[in-house]
Amino acid sequence: MALLTSTTEAPAMRPPRHLAATSRGRSQIDPYPRRRGIRWLVRALYSLPFLVATALVYGVGTPIDGTPNAALVERVSLIDWTRADVVWLGEIYPPITTLIAALTPGGRLGLAVLGSLVAGVFLQKLGEIMVQRRFHRSTSNILMIALAANPLFFYTATENFAGFVGLIFFGLGIADIVRFVTWGNTQSGFRAGIFFALSTLSDTSGLLYVLTALAAVPFLVLKRRGQAGARASVLLVVAYPTLAAIGALMLLNLVFLHNPLGEVGVGMLDGADGRLAGLPALFASLTGWLLLAPVVSAWLSGVIVGRWKAIPVASLVFVAILVAFVAGLIAPGSAGNTFIMMTVLAIALIPAAKQRGTTALLNVVAVAQVAIAWLAAFDRPIVVEWMSALWSALGLG
């Protein structure tokens, strides 16, 4: 009887939900805002500026040429959708964004609208991550402004759908892998694996980003320290969806085309020698320094909060971006990939500051990110051309 009594009374002894969440600390992954309707309202409000910019550029002004979305729409129009052979699989890679582009009405305008809506969801999720990680409100606000309130982010969201979606899935995967590795949240581990696979299947450079993220796992603080094979199991859970998808495609290419990269992969590597030879000149210019600036900001953020292992992680991802550029995996006309990636990494990897002085220093670095974003925007001709189209639509050009 005593056993039955204690069992039935146990639920009554549990603390209230909000106290239970507090006692579990950061491993409690609660949505923010709590109410679903409010979350969707926040997403809609975040999407609104991008929708307005899209309406101005496409409805009032003249869309510019040479953007990744323009190339994506043209590529989709040339695909023979009555085929289903191995060469065809290579032609539609990356399949997720290619299929979305094929099904989205309105061509470039439809992709710009879709990218604007995706941007709203992404920014709400980043805000949720910062609340879960207990960032100071001032730091959260400055980081959000630094990331999104600049022409680089607007251009990427509305004119580079594949690259933007790939970056989003990668960023969400990084946030979940941190929860999985350092907080021990198993569900986040499976989500991270799915997000990484989606990133790989959304953008040509996604695979390289994901492999780099996996290489960075040993630098993260593992909650289950001391357990044999813990890191190997983490890598297996996170990497399996991506490796399974890409491995299957490469195997088909190898069997039927006798080349694991396929015709599309070989075509991307054309000109790699010239791009590699041009890297020293790139980093001797202002453009190169502006590419490196967000990486330095990520390093400084790690130093400020004592998360030194964020430095090699950010460095590995930056190297991955350079390798993707040399290999031809980054679409011509892309801009802002490094800045967006490094800002998202800082949000996902850097722990919240616990002291007022540390918070102030983090805020200084975040404010510097605002300046970096705008300087980089005016340094990229394609973004300047897009801004000119926007100003002209506003009657300011």
Task: Give tens-digit pLDDT for 218-243.
Answer: 766 666 655 656 677 778 888 889 88
pLDDT band for 208, please (50, 70, 90 cuts).
confident
Residue 290, domain member (yes or no): yes
Residue 4, domain member (yes or no): no
Is the backbone peptide bond immediately before 31 cis, with ω within 30 degrees of 0?
no
pLDDT band for 142, please (50, 70, 90 cuts).
very high
Contact 57, 158 (CB under 8 A): yes
Boundaries of domain holding 111: 33-386
pTM assigned to the model: 0.88
3-class SS of residue 137 = helix
Nearest CA-CA partner of 357 in 393, 314, 306, 396? 306
Angle between helices 68-77 and 161-178 (to 10 degrees): 110
Residue 5, domain member (yes or no): no
Task: Give tens-digit pLDDT for 293-344.
Answer: 999 999 999 899 888 888 888 898 899 889 888 988 888 899 988 899 889 8
Cα gap 110→63, rounded to integer Å:
13
Question: Residue 357 pLDDT more than 80?
Answer: yes
Position with higher pLDDT, 227 vs 81: 81
Position with higher pLDDT, 359 vs 2: 359
Residue 200, domain member (yes or no): yes
Nearest CA-CA partner of 202 in 111, 319, 87, 323? 111
Mean pLDDT of 351-372: 90
Question: Residue 284 pLDDT more than 70?
Answer: yes
Nearest CA-CA partner of 315 in 380, 200, 219? 219
Residue 94, domain member (yes or no): yes
Task: Give tens-digit pLDDT for 1-41.
Answer: 344 443 343 444 444 444 344 434 443 567 888 899 999 99
Task: Give tens-digit pLDDT for 91-102.
Answer: 898 999 999 999
Residue 11, domain member (yes or no): no
Q: Could you give the percent of the chain with pLDDT greater than 70? A: 88
pLDDT band for 262, please (50, 70, 90 cuts).
confident
Residue 19, domain member (yes or no): no
| Domain count across the chain | 1
Question: Residue 132 pLDDT more than 60?
Answer: yes
| Matching residue, tokens 């994901």 | 210
